Amino acid sequence: KINSPLEAYKYLPQTNCGECGEPTCMAFASKLIDRSGKTENCPPLVKEKKYAKKLAELDRLLAPEIRQVTIGVGERAANIGGDDVLYRHKLTFFNKTKMFFDVSDSMEEAALIERVKKIADFKKFYVGRNLLIDGVAIRAASNDPAKFAAAVKKVAEVGLPMIFCSFNPAVLKAGLEVAKDKNPLLYAANKDNWKEVGELALEYKVPVVVSAFNDLDALKTLAKTFAEAGIKDIVLDPGTYPTGKGLKDTFTNFLKIRRAGIMGDTEIAYPIMALPLTAWMAGIADPVSASYWETVMASVFTIRYGDIMILHSMEPYAVLPEVHLAETIYTDPRTPVSVDGGMYKVGAPDKDSPVFFTTNFALTYYTVESDISANGIVCWLLAVDTDGIGVEAAAAGGQLNSAKVKDAFEKAGFDLKTDTNHNTLIIPGLSARLQGDLEDTLGAKVMVGPMDSGRIPGWIEKNWPP
Ligand code: SF4
347-397 pLDDT tens trace = 999 999 999 999 999 989 999 999 999 999 999 999 999 999 999 999 999
Q: Nearest Cα to 309, choosing from 101, 105, 77, 79?
A: 101
- Give the closest residue (by CA) to ligand 1 atom 1: 25
Residue 125 and residue 123: Cα distance in Å, rounded? 7
Q: Is 159 exposed, middle or buried (0-12, 13-18, 19+ CB in 10 A)?
A: middle
Cα–ligand 1 centroid distance for 5 (angstroms) = 13
Q: What is the pLDDT of residues 410-425, one digit of tens each?
A: 999 999 999 999 999 9
What band does 128 get if pLDDT is binned at 50, 70 and 90?
Answer: confident
For ligand 1, is residue 257 a contact (CB within 6 Å)? no
Q: Nearest Cα to 401, choosing from 411, 410, 391?
A: 391
- pLDDT recorded at residue 34: 84
Residue 27 and residue 15: Cα distance in Å, rounded? 12
What percentage of residues in the chain have a pLDDT greater than 90? 91
- The preferred substitution site among 15, 31, 40 for testing ligand 1, maximizing ligand atoms within 8 Å of CB, is 15
Residue 394 and residue 401: Cα distance in Å, rounded? 8
What band does 464 get if pLDDT is binned at 50, 70 and 90?
Answer: very high
Tell me the sheet residues that pair with 361. Answer: 338
Residue 219 and residue 194: Cα distance in Å, rounded? 11
Cα–ligand 1 centroid distance for 34 (angstroms) = 17
DSSP state of 264: T
For ligand 1, is residue 15 a contact (CB within 6 Å)? yes
Query: What values do phi and psi take at 390, rounded to 5?
Result: -65, 170
> Could you tell me which residue, 449 or 283, shows the higher pLDDT?
449
For ligand 1, is residue 22 a contact (CB within 6 Å)? yes
For ligand 1, is residue 17 a contact (CB within 6 Å)? yes
- pLDDT recorded at residue 36: 85
Residue 105 and residue 310: Cα distance in Å, rounded? 16
- pLDDT recorded at residue 233: 97
